[in-house]
Amino acid sequence: MKLKIVLNISEITVFLLFTGLGTVANVSIFVNYICTFMGSGKKSIYLILIHLALTNITLLFSKVMPVTIAALGLRHFLGDIGCHVIVYLERMARGLSICTSSLLTVVQAVIMSPRASWWGRLRLRSKWHVLLSLFFLWILNMLISMNFLLSIRDTATDTLQLRQISEYCYFKKESQRRNNIFLILMVLRDAVFQGAMGGASGYMVFLLHKHHQHVLYLQNSKLLYRTPPELRAAQSVLLLMLCFVFFYWTDCVVSLYLSSSSNNDSLTIHFQEFLTIGYAVLSPFMLIQRDGLLAECCHAR
């Protein structure tokens, strides 16, 4: 029993440490790009990076607050309203993370594409186009996540339990038809935006391959050539997308295992929690490392 308590404390401590580091990094990215955007670099891609950092902060906040409250022994501190707010924010932030990452990939593919190409014609000429796109993503994810406002209940206020999603909240068994409709909408959202992300990533890989062949030709011709900032920034975005895909699909596999398994050990559950926040924690550090390249790309435009 004592060993189990020690393990739980250790897991919670590591979880809070990772979440704290991710929050600090995301706040740093958020403040940095806000200052840059309000200064001389009012570029469209800055808005997407600001929004991605804000989405990550929201996701980390919605994950760390319940764990912190549970660690303090306040099991039902959140109550019914708290369950609604926290779970709704988490699900909406996860959806916004998918959509924002997809938008970032598409915009980066447009930036690095030749102006005469089909992708080049999609070039966003105004920051208002990006703002409208982000506003649409918020409305879309608010509507798709609406089901959680109707189905989430505090464990202390109800007994009809369908699936416990944490130590304090669970999914109430009401309308299975409605739940299936919202589940289909979530799957369609993920499929559409990941499809767009995959198409844009594939196009960037194609352009990077052409650039590599061009560099080899120039080297053989003994000419000096410097990699454009757009292509170097594209490499950074591709790394971000690989990071996102890894955490997303690993989380899906582990979630399917937990939903089909009768023995849900705490280690697997905590591992799934780490996968949920993995992209939000790691992505800002990748942006910080390549920040100069992204900024250089934006100033080049």
CATH node for 2-300: 1.20.1070.10
Q: Where are the domains of the chain?
A: 2-300
pTM over 0.85: no
Nearest by Cα to 196 from 260, 291, 109, 292: 109
Predicted local confidence at residue 195, as pLDDT: 93
pLDDT, tens digit only, all 301 positions of the chain: 444 444 466 767 777 888 889 999 999 889 888 887 777 656 778 889 999 999 999 999 888 877 776 666 665 566 667 777 888 888 899 999 999 999 998 888 887 777 655 555 556 556 778 888 999 999 999 999 887 777 665 555 544 444 445 555 666 656 677 778 888 999 999 999 999 999 988 888 887 777 656 555 455 544 444 555 556 667 778 888 889 999 999 988 888 887 777 666 667 777 888 888 899 999 888 888 766 544 444 444 4
Nearest by Cα to 245 from 198, 196, 203, 287: 198
